[in-house]
Amino acid sequence: MRLQLQTWAEVERYLETASTVIMPIGSTEQHGPNGLIGTDAVTSEEIAHAVGARTNTMVAPTIAVGMAQHHMAFTGSMTLRPSTMISVIGDYVNSLAHHGFDRFYFINGHGGNSATIEAAFQEIYTAHTMSGSGAGAGASTSGGNAPSVRCRLRNWWTGSEMRPLIKQLFGDKDGMHATISEVSVTQYLFPDQIKDVAMGPPEAFTGRWTDAADYRAKFPDGRIASHPELATPEAGKQVFDIAVKQIAEEVTAFRDG
Ligand code: NI
Protein backbone atom coordinates (compact mmCIF):
# COMPACT_ATOMS: atom_id res chain seq x y z
CA MET A 1 0.00 0.00 0.00
CA ARG A 2 2.03 2.89 -1.32
CA LEU A 3 1.20 6.42 -0.21
CA GLN A 4 2.05 7.74 -3.65
CA LEU A 5 -0.53 5.48 -5.29
CA GLN A 6 -3.43 6.48 -3.01
CA THR A 7 -5.82 9.41 -3.16
CA TRP A 8 -6.04 11.76 -0.20
CA ALA A 9 -9.43 10.29 0.62
CA GLU A 10 -7.98 6.79 0.70
CA VAL A 11 -5.26 7.92 3.11
CA GLU A 12 -7.92 9.53 5.27
CA ARG A 13 -9.82 6.24 5.37
CA TYR A 14 -6.63 4.30 6.22
CA LEU A 15 -6.09 6.57 9.20
CA GLU A 16 -9.54 5.75 10.56
CA THR A 17 -8.25 2.33 11.61
CA ALA A 18 -4.44 2.52 11.37
CA SER A 19 -1.60 4.91 12.19
CA THR A 20 1.56 3.03 11.17
CA VAL A 21 3.64 3.96 8.16
CA ILE A 22 6.72 2.23 6.73
CA MET A 23 9.55 4.58 5.77
CA PRO A 24 12.08 3.16 3.26
CA ILE A 25 15.47 4.87 3.56
CA GLY A 26 18.65 4.15 1.64
CA SER A 27 21.60 5.73 -0.08
CA THR A 28 22.83 6.62 -3.55
CA GLU A 29 26.49 5.58 -3.57
CA GLN A 30 29.00 3.43 -5.36
CA HIS A 31 28.68 -0.29 -4.71
CA GLY A 32 31.87 -1.69 -6.15
CA PRO A 33 32.60 -2.96 -9.66
CA ASN A 34 29.22 -4.59 -10.41
CA GLY A 35 26.88 -3.11 -7.81
CA LEU A 36 24.24 -0.53 -8.71
CA ILE A 37 24.66 2.98 -7.28
CA GLY A 38 21.09 2.82 -6.03
CA THR A 39 21.55 -0.53 -4.26
CA ASP A 40 20.75 0.68 -0.74
CA ALA A 41 17.75 2.72 -1.87
CA VAL A 42 16.13 0.20 -4.22
CA THR A 43 16.59 -2.76 -1.86
CA SER A 44 14.99 -0.97 1.10
CA GLU A 45 12.25 0.37 -1.17
CA GLU A 46 11.32 -2.99 -2.68
CA ILE A 47 11.47 -4.76 0.68
CA ALA A 48 9.27 -1.99 2.12
CA HIS A 49 6.73 -2.35 -0.69
CA ALA A 50 6.56 -6.12 -0.17
CA VAL A 51 6.25 -5.76 3.61
CA GLY A 52 3.57 -3.10 3.13
CA ALA A 53 1.60 -5.39 0.83
CA ARG A 54 1.89 -8.34 3.20
CA THR A 55 0.85 -6.38 6.31
CA ASN A 56 -1.59 -3.90 4.75
CA THR A 57 0.60 -1.04 5.94
CA MET A 58 1.07 2.30 4.21
CA VAL A 59 4.54 2.87 2.72
CA ALA A 60 5.89 6.42 2.44
CA PRO A 61 8.08 7.71 -0.41
CA THR A 62 11.66 6.48 -0.16
CA ILE A 63 14.38 8.70 1.26
CA ALA A 64 16.82 7.66 -1.46
CA VAL A 65 19.92 9.75 -0.64
CA GLY A 66 21.63 9.25 2.70
CA MET A 67 24.88 9.78 4.54
CA ALA A 68 27.56 8.71 2.05
CA GLN A 69 30.31 11.26 2.46
CA HIS A 70 32.93 8.51 2.50
CA HIS A 71 31.86 7.32 -0.99
CA MET A 72 32.15 10.73 -2.67
CA ALA A 73 35.50 9.90 -4.32
CA PHE A 74 33.54 7.52 -6.60
CA THR A 75 31.62 9.06 -9.50
CA GLY A 76 27.86 9.16 -9.20
CA SER A 77 27.71 8.95 -5.42
CA MET A 78 25.50 11.49 -3.65
CA THR A 79 25.32 12.47 0.00
CA LEU A 80 23.33 14.48 2.46
CA ARG A 81 25.31 16.06 5.26
CA PRO A 82 24.14 14.62 8.59
CA SER A 83 22.42 17.86 9.62
CA THR A 84 20.47 17.92 6.33
CA MET A 85 19.49 14.29 6.71
CA ILE A 86 18.23 14.88 10.26
CA SER A 87 16.09 17.72 8.89
CA VAL A 88 14.76 15.62 5.99
CA ILE A 89 13.80 12.74 8.28
CA GLY A 90 12.16 15.19 10.68
CA ASP A 91 10.16 16.87 7.93
CA TYR A 92 8.99 13.52 6.48
CA VAL A 93 7.87 12.32 9.92
CA ASN A 94 6.27 15.61 10.95
CA SER A 95 4.38 15.91 7.66
CA LEU A 96 2.81 12.50 8.17
CA ALA A 97 2.32 13.01 11.93
CA HIS A 98 0.35 16.14 11.07
CA HIS A 99 -2.22 13.89 9.39
CA GLY A 100 -2.39 11.37 12.20
CA PHE A 101 0.38 8.82 11.62
CA ASP A 102 2.16 8.11 14.89
CA ARG A 103 4.25 4.97 14.31
CA PHE A 104 7.13 5.21 11.87
CA TYR A 105 8.95 2.03 10.87
CA PHE A 106 12.14 2.82 8.97
CA ILE A 107 13.50 0.06 6.72
CA ASN A 108 17.10 1.06 6.12
CA GLY A 109 19.45 -0.15 3.39
CA HIS A 110 22.70 1.57 4.42
CA GLY A 111 24.72 1.03 7.58
CA GLY A 112 26.26 4.49 7.23
CA ASN A 113 22.80 6.01 7.83
CA SER A 114 22.21 4.39 11.20
CA ALA A 115 23.82 6.94 13.52
CA THR A 116 22.14 9.85 11.73
CA ILE A 117 18.72 8.17 11.71
CA GLU A 118 18.96 7.52 15.45
CA ALA A 119 19.98 11.14 16.01
CA ALA A 120 16.98 12.26 13.93
CA PHE A 121 14.67 10.14 16.11
CA GLN A 122 15.97 11.88 19.22
CA GLU A 123 15.42 15.28 17.60
CA ILE A 124 11.83 14.24 16.75
CA TYR A 125 11.15 12.93 20.24
CA THR A 126 12.57 16.07 21.82
CA ALA A 127 10.46 18.32 19.60
CA HIS A 128 7.29 16.33 20.27
CA THR A 129 7.96 16.16 24.00
CA MET A 130 8.73 19.83 24.40
CA SER A 131 6.07 21.34 22.15
CA GLY A 132 2.70 22.67 23.21
CA SER A 133 3.67 23.25 26.80
CA GLY A 134 3.97 27.00 26.94
CA ALA A 135 6.84 28.30 28.98
CA GLY A 136 7.54 25.02 30.72
CA ALA A 137 9.98 23.01 28.65
CA GLY A 138 9.97 19.25 28.93
CA ALA A 139 6.26 18.62 29.31
CA SER A 140 4.09 17.23 26.53
CA THR A 141 0.48 18.20 25.92
CA SER A 142 -0.54 15.00 27.68
CA GLY A 143 1.31 16.06 30.80
CA GLY A 144 3.94 13.33 30.65
CA ASN A 145 7.22 13.13 28.87
CA ALA A 146 6.39 10.23 26.55
CA PRO A 147 6.87 11.11 22.88
CA SER A 148 3.68 11.30 20.86
CA VAL A 149 5.27 9.46 17.94
CA ARG A 150 7.31 6.28 17.93
CA CYS A 151 10.09 5.58 15.45
CA ARG A 152 11.87 2.29 14.82
CA LEU A 153 15.03 1.64 12.77
CA ARG A 154 15.41 -1.75 11.06
CA ASN A 155 18.45 -2.59 8.92
CA TRP A 156 17.14 -5.14 6.44
CA TRP A 157 20.30 -7.27 6.29
CA THR A 158 20.17 -8.20 9.99
CA GLY A 159 17.94 -10.58 11.92
CA SER A 160 17.97 -14.01 13.51
CA GLU A 161 17.10 -15.78 10.26
CA MET A 162 19.06 -13.51 7.92
CA ARG A 163 22.57 -13.95 9.30
CA PRO A 164 22.47 -17.79 9.17
CA LEU A 165 21.10 -17.63 5.61
CA ILE A 166 23.89 -15.31 4.46
CA LYS A 167 26.46 -17.56 6.14
CA GLN A 168 24.96 -20.62 4.45
CA LEU A 169 24.83 -18.97 1.01
CA PHE A 170 28.14 -17.10 0.97
CA GLY A 171 30.30 -18.43 3.82
CA ASP A 172 32.73 -15.74 4.94
CA LYS A 173 32.79 -14.02 1.54
CA ASP A 174 29.82 -11.65 1.94
CA GLY A 175 32.05 -8.78 3.08
CA MET A 176 31.36 -5.32 4.50
CA HIS A 177 30.47 -3.13 1.51
CA ALA A 178 29.07 -4.07 -1.89
CA THR A 179 28.23 -7.38 -0.25
CA ILE A 180 27.24 -10.46 -2.21
CA SER A 181 23.86 -10.42 -0.48
CA GLU A 182 22.87 -6.88 -1.42
CA VAL A 183 24.17 -7.20 -5.00
CA SER A 184 22.24 -10.48 -5.28
CA VAL A 185 19.03 -8.78 -4.15
CA THR A 186 19.41 -6.11 -6.85
CA GLN A 187 20.05 -8.83 -9.45
CA TYR A 188 16.82 -10.54 -8.36
CA LEU A 189 14.86 -7.26 -8.49
CA PHE A 190 16.42 -5.87 -11.69
CA PRO A 191 17.62 -8.82 -13.78
CA ASP A 192 18.12 -6.62 -16.84
CA GLN A 193 20.69 -4.58 -14.91
CA ILE A 194 23.07 -7.43 -14.04
CA LYS A 195 26.60 -6.23 -14.82
CA ASP A 196 29.23 -8.61 -16.09
CA VAL A 197 32.45 -7.15 -14.68
CA ALA A 198 35.73 -8.99 -14.10
CA MET A 199 37.31 -8.43 -10.69
CA GLY A 200 40.16 -9.83 -8.68
CA PRO A 201 40.24 -10.54 -4.96
CA PRO A 202 38.98 -7.69 -2.77
CA GLU A 203 41.01 -5.49 -0.50
CA ALA A 204 40.87 -6.79 3.07
CA PHE A 205 39.52 -4.54 5.80
CA THR A 206 42.58 -3.39 7.70
CA GLY A 207 41.20 -0.33 9.40
CA ARG A 208 38.61 2.38 9.17
CA TRP A 209 38.98 5.22 6.71
CA THR A 210 38.81 8.91 7.48
CA ASP A 211 37.39 10.83 4.52
CA ALA A 212 36.35 9.95 0.96
CA ALA A 213 39.88 10.18 -0.50
CA ASP A 214 41.21 7.89 2.21
CA TYR A 215 38.40 5.39 1.56
CA ARG A 216 39.26 5.24 -2.15
CA ALA A 217 42.97 4.89 -1.39
CA LYS A 218 42.25 1.95 0.91
CA PHE A 219 39.56 0.32 -1.29
CA PRO A 220 40.28 1.32 -4.91
CA ASP A 221 37.37 -0.51 -6.58
CA GLY A 222 34.92 0.43 -3.84
CA ARG A 223 34.37 -3.00 -2.28
CA ILE A 224 35.37 -3.87 1.25
CA ALA A 225 36.28 -7.55 1.69
CA SER A 226 33.39 -8.74 -0.48
CA HIS A 227 33.02 -11.08 -3.48
CA PRO A 228 30.05 -9.65 -5.40
CA GLU A 229 31.18 -11.57 -8.50
CA LEU A 230 29.47 -14.50 -6.74
CA ALA A 231 26.10 -12.70 -6.65
CA THR A 232 23.13 -14.43 -8.29
CA PRO A 233 19.45 -13.53 -8.67
CA GLU A 234 18.54 -16.89 -7.12
CA ALA A 235 20.46 -16.10 -3.93
CA GLY A 236 18.96 -12.62 -4.03
CA LYS A 237 15.45 -14.05 -3.99
CA GLN A 238 16.25 -16.09 -0.87
CA VAL A 239 17.70 -13.06 0.91
CA PHE A 240 14.79 -10.84 -0.16
CA ASP A 241 12.17 -13.37 0.93
CA ILE A 242 13.70 -13.82 4.40
CA ALA A 243 13.98 -10.05 4.84
CA VAL A 244 10.32 -9.57 3.92
CA LYS A 245 9.15 -12.46 6.13
CA GLN A 246 11.06 -11.31 9.21
CA ILE A 247 10.35 -7.62 8.82
CA ALA A 248 6.63 -8.23 8.17
CA GLU A 249 6.42 -10.06 11.50
CA GLU A 250 8.20 -7.20 13.22
CA VAL A 251 6.03 -4.52 11.60
CA THR A 252 2.93 -6.38 12.80
CA ALA A 253 4.32 -6.45 16.35
CA PHE A 254 5.29 -2.78 16.16
CA ARG A 255 1.83 -1.83 14.87
CA ASP A 256 -0.01 -3.85 17.52
CA GLY A 257 2.42 -3.30 20.39
NI1 NI B 1 24.90 -1.09 0.46
Ligand 1 centre to CA of 40 (Å) is: 5
Strands (E), the chain: 20-25, 58-59, 103-108, 150-155
Which residue, 158, 194, 167, 184, is CA-closest to 236? 184
The CA-atom distances, in angstroms, between 243 and each of 154, 187, 256 are: 10, 16, 20
**27-67 confidence digits (pLDDT tens):** 999 999 999 999 999 999 999 999 999 999 999 999 999 99
CA 109 – ligand 1 centroid, Å = 6
The residue segments making up the domain with residue 90 are 3-256
Whole-number Å distance between alpha carbons of 103 and 40: 23
- Band the pLDDT of 123: cuts 50, 70, 90: very high
Proportion of the chain above pLDDT 90, given as a percent: 89
Cα of 228 from ligand 1 centre, angstroms: 12
Full-model pTM: 0.94
How far away, in angstroms, is 3 Cα from ligand 1 center? 25
Q: Say if residue 133's pLDDT is above 60.
A: no
Domains identified in the chain, total number: 1
CATH of the domain at 13: 3.40.50.10310
Beta strands in 101-157 (DSSP E): 103-108, 150-155
